[in-house]
Structure 1
Amino acid sequence: MLELFTAPTPNGWKISIALEELGLPYQLHVLQLLKGEQKAPEYLKINPNGRIPALVDHDEGGRAIFESGAILMHLAEKTGKLLPQDAEGRSRAIQWLFWQVGGLGPMQGQANVFFRYLPEKIPLAIERYQGETRRHYEVMNTRLGEAPYLAGDEYSIADIACFPWVFGHFWAGVPLDGFDHLLDWKARLEQRPAVLKGLSIPPLPDLSKLQKAGQELVRP
């Protein structure tokens, strides 16, 4: 049995999407981040960093795994799916996975904070992190002009890692205008039932309305 500890954020949705794609049963634990449940002593035993997501794999002796990239790799290796079997494809998928956790996620996460959450707007910080987010989108767009998926011809954990961030581009105030290959990739992933199901676990109220409002906000 698997236990998923998560919340409705891009990093959380990575894992729920992967679990739905793989068809693995799991027990869901939704943490209330604003209440600080991710800092509770019992949770820190699972994830010492006090963040989400985290996974406990009872099929492997109750092994606790934290960090979304590590969880994605664990699930791919556990099932032999969502990670290319050839050395070159596997390497590409892992490189793009690391690129997301080390680049796209942190930059867009900071764009979210400075654009949405801070009561005092700091234009230089907003410009900096929105610009870096857009630069990362440009990198993805170029790659997706060469292949249908980030690792090549095969859908993988690299795509799953990046998708929730691109899906939430509006929350960072960064439009996708001009990124034709990225938009095509996004549209194809949004047609996957497991992706749609994963985005609803845990549910974020009025996500479609929020997305529409966000798109209006970033429209030129």
Structure 2
Amino acid sequence: MTYEPPKVWQNTQSGGQFANINRPVSGPTHDKDLPVGDHPYQLYSLATPNGVKVTVLFEELIEAGHPVEYDAWLINIGEGDQFGSGFVDVNPNSKIPALFDRTDGLNARIFESGAIMMHLAERYGAFLGDNRPEMMSWLFWQMGSAPFLGGGFGHFYAYAPEKFEYPINRYAMEAKRQLDVLNQRLEDVPWIAGDDYTIADMAIWSWYGQLVLGRLYNAAEFLAVQDYEHLMAWAERIDARPAVRRGRMVNRSFGDDESLKLPERHSRDDFK
């Protein structure tokens, strides 16, 4: 049956894994203060690809010897934590991750993962690379491209209540085009921005690296990820970094591997 859109859209629950938290308005649904720890940085997040970007960067900064400490608090989006009044105060868009920076009396909120990464990298002068225009271009490529992978392909392939050929084919084609963009780039350079490992690598790996490593949507075989040999080698190289393994663990409360779960992080000793 062909769907005919009404003249004016009306909200109807269409099912799917996240139907209970989707709504067409913003703002809090309930009063709930956020917890606050002792460290200068207070991170409120979940170990989705967008959350992993930031925790990987925090752990890479620590691994590199920068004077960084942070508290990472779990935001369970399945239970609607992102709509609590405290979280909305930090991110009015109700999406993870969100960061509150109390360093040197700054007292600033930062939301959107790319903004958080730029804020931290610039503060410590780290992981920006020698070619800033190239790094910025690829960082923003990820920010603009990943919604087609996640909200497009991932939703219709893995989360929609029914499988429909047209949207799956449409977004699978775009996902494979994006994988080819990365694969061709990484045929010529060791890291996405050139000779240096940067926040662009971390951001892109959290989505596309984990996809080709078989961690997103159970779609590696469907997308024939083995065809992207340069992208695969890059993803495996990043995956082997100790800071990346730690970053994947932070704010993770799901999955079968208990050794990878660290729902909250307040100290470097938590990983022990």
Structure 2: which amino acid aligns with 1:46?
V
**Identity of aligned pairs, percent?**
38
1:102 and 1:29 map into 2 onto residues whose CA distance is 27
When normalised by structure 1's length, the TM-score is 0.89
Partner residue in 2 for 1:149: 191
Structure 2 residue 256 is the aligned partner of structure 1 residue 206: yes
- Which amino acid in structure 2 is aligned with residue 198 of structure 1? G
- Number of the residue aligned with 1:75: 120
Equivalent of 1:112 in 146, 154, 162 = 154
Deviations 1:101-132 (A, max 9, x none): 001x1111021111111111111111111211
Kindly report the root-mean-square deviation, in angstroms, between the aligned alpha carbons of the 2 structures.
1.4
Alpha-carbon shift at residue 17 of structure 1 (Å):
0.3
> 1:7 is matched with which residue?
46
* Pairing 1:134–2:176 present: yes
Structure 1, unaligned stretches of length 5 or more? 209-220
Secondary structure in structure 2 of the residue aligned to 1:4: strand
Give runs of ≥4 in structure 1 deviating > 4 Å.
none
Match among 61, 64, 70 for residue 109 of structure 2 = 64
Counterpart among 42, 46, 55 of residue 99 in structure 2: 55
The structure richer in helix per residue is 1
Mapped partners of 1:153, 1:206: distance in 2: 36
**Structure 2 CA distance for partners of 1:145 and 1:207, relative to 1, 3 Å:** farther
TM-score (normalizing by structure 2): 0.72
- Distance in 1 (CA, whole Å) between partners of 2:176 and 2:43 is 31
Distance 2:227 2:119 in 1: 35
- How far apart are residue 207 of structure 1 and its match? 5.2
Q: State the SS of the aligned residue for 2:110.
A: strand
Q: Secondary structure at the match of 2:227?
A: coil
Partner of 1:162: 204
Shift of 1:83: 0.2
Aligned residue identity for 2:81:
E
In structure 2, what residue type is equivalent to 1:54?
A: A
Name structure 2 gaps, 5 residues minimum.
1-39, 63-67, 259-272
Q: How many Å apart are 1:178 and its aligned residue? A: 1.2
Tell me, in whole angstroms, the C-alpha distance in 2 between the residues paired with 1:144 and 1:207. 30
Q: Which amino acid aligns with 2:155?
A: V
Instruction: State the alpha-carbon separation in 2 of the partners of residues 49 and 31 from structure 1.
Output: 14
Give 2:236's aligned amino acid.
Answer: A
Q: Secondary structure at the match of 1:95?
A: helix
* 1:29 paired to 2:70: no
- Give me the whole-angstrom Cα distance separating, in 2, the residues matched to 1:206 and 1:62: 37
* Structure 1 residue 30, shift from structure 2 partner: 0.6
Aligned equivalent of 2:29: none
CA distance in 2, matches of 1:206, 1:18: 24
